[in-house]
Amino acid sequence: MKGRDILMIALVLALSCVLGTTPMVKAAIKNKLMPKVEVEKLTQMQGQLSDYFLEDAYLESLVDDWYNSLSSTARVGQLIMPAWDNETNLDTLKVLIETEAVGGYMVLNKTFTPELIADLEMANPNIVPLLVSVDAEPSLLKYRFEDPVYEKETKDLDTTELINKVTKDIADELKRFGMNLNFAPVYDLGTNKSVIGARAFSDDPEIVQERANLMARDFMRANIIPTAKHFPGHGLVSGDTHLELQTITEPLKELESFKSAITAQIPMVMVGHLAVKNETCDTDGLPATLSSLMMTDLLREELGFKGLIITDAMNMQAVSEIEDADLKALLAGADIVLMPLDAAKLNQDIQELLMIEPVFAPEFEAKIKRVLRLKLVQRLSKYE
């Protein structure tokens, strides 16, 4: 084993254990693993994913350390999440990881095993871990797992006790496989029967808010990153964005659900391919995933969301025909592009943009550091 590998392993172990909450952990870090870490400065951290939102200068310095340790390709790769689906060769995905072109991937088939996922992590050449995501909504488990832990619909989760149990079962299954990010729960209303329906907790926004936040907080306690989706909400359209762009023409009444997610400190929001044209908002025919009005002005600034913004899958028909849609999504306010049409090309395009137009460099650095911050906080919370 090379000296660099030993250093990487030691650093990963140190960052995996630094909770700042137990004397044993503090002593181990201070005396053996990472003596330069000033463990006392981590006492504000609670060992929870909600630590992401702490205003903590020392946490920021650790993020800076990770950022500075990465190549330009690896930095940009943090913003790119392809899928490992039935059409993607495992070796192709491994090359993307080995070349630092991506910072994670979505599991979208049933051929995965803990061993294969661990092998992909081992292909990662830097100390920053991968985000390994899955659409493990209760309603979708039967499509994602050979032996799902729950086989009914999300709408059937109608008690606190049942939500607690099913969420724990899902979280345990994800951790068993080595997954750390779940694209759930759904905050949309179930009134759109073509694509949401029973995937939602209810047609009633108050019930949606209560139950979705309960599930999301349970995932966070289990150290699985939850995702509030699909902003600004599919409940006011009738069609399926997998097939074509949908346009909301009414007031955005589902915003209250996403406001509740922000208040609950859910660290990630997924934006849907939904255009808006009503009396107060007009995305000019663009989906929200390409609209700075929706992602930057509304979600980031007006609603005050400080977490990660991820797009819905960019291979969906509502957006896939738009030229350079992947790059445009980032420029409009997204932090992570999910399932870009060509992950390696997107990485190169971003690097070229930053060389030609350095004015965008601070914006992209902020995006990358938001991703690194979430990865770091999860790593610090892992051994709670």
**pLDDT value of position 68:** 93
Closest CA relative to residue 339, chosen from 312, 308, 307: 312
Angstrom distances, CA of residue 45 to CA of 24, 143, 247: 16, 37, 42
Domain assignment present for 30: no
Domain assignment present for 288: yes
Confidence of residue 26 (pLDDT cuts 50, 70, 90): very low
**pLDDT value of position 382:** 54
**pLDDT value of position 253:** 93
* Structural contact between residues 276 and 289, judged by C-beta atoms closer than 8 angstroms: no
CA dihedral 161, 156, 308, 300 (to 10 degrees): -110
151-168 pLDDT, tens digit each: 999 999 999 999 999 999
Residue 234 has pLDDT above 70, yes or no: yes
Domain assignment present for 185: yes
Q: For the chain, what is the mean pLDDT?
A: 88
d(C-alpha 365, C-alpha 379), whole Å? 21
Residue 12 has pLDDT above 70, yes or no: no
DSSP bridge pairs for 106: 83, 133
167-183 pLDDT, tens digit each: 999 999 999 999 999 99
CA 90, 94, 95: angle at the middle one, nearest 5? Answer: 120
pTM listed for this prediction: 0.89
Residue 25 has pLDDT above 70, yes or no: no
Rounded percentage of the chain residues whose pLDDT exceeds 70: 89
Residue 24 has pLDDT above 50, yes or no: no
* Structural contact between residues 65 and 48, judged by C-beta atoms closer than 8 angstroms: no
d(C-alpha 267, C-alpha 282), whole Å? 27
Residue 229 has pLDDT above 80, yes or no: yes
Strand order in the sheet with 228-231: 228-231, 268-271, 308-311
Confidence of residue 40 (pLDDT cuts 50, 70, 90): low
Give phi and psi for 178, each to the nearest 5: 95, 20
Identity of the amino acid at 169: D
**pLDDT value of position 4:** 43
Residue 342: active-site member: no
Domain assignment present for 283: yes
**pLDDT value of position 35:** 33
The single residue of 135, 218, 312, 335 carrying the catalytic annotation is 312
Confidence of residue 33 (pLDDT cuts 50, 70, 90): very low
Residue 20 has pLDDT above 50, yes or no: no
**pLDDT value of position 39:** 61
Residue 380 has pLDDT above 60, yes or no: yes
242-296 pLDDT, tens digit each: 888 889 999 999 999 999 999 999 999 999 999 999 988 999 999 999 999 999 9
Kindly report the number of other CB atoms within 10 A of residue 280's CB atom.
7
Angstrom distances, CA of residue 35 to CA of 18, 28, 43, 58, 377: 12, 9, 16, 15, 20
* Structural contact between residues 287 and 244, judged by C-beta atoms closer than 8 angstroms: no
Domain assignment present for 105: yes
Confidence of residue 318 (pLDDT cuts 50, 70, 90): confident
User: Is 309 or 25 the better-scoring residue by pLDDT?
Assistant: 309
Structural domain boundaries enclosing 93: 67-357
Question: For the chain, what is the domain count?
Answer: 1
82-138 pLDDT, tens digit each: 999 988 889 999 999 999 999 999 999 888 999 999 999 999 998 899 999 999 999
d(C-alpha 216, C-alpha 173), whole Å? 16
Domain assignment present for 11: no
Domain assignment present for 383: no
Domain assignment present for 375: no
**pLDDT value of position 241:** 86
Confidence of residue 38 (pLDDT cuts 50, 70, 90): low
CATH number of the domain where residue 326 is located: 3.20.20.300
| H or E element, residue 76 | helix 72-77
Least confident of 4-18, 70-84, 279-293, 314-328: 4-18
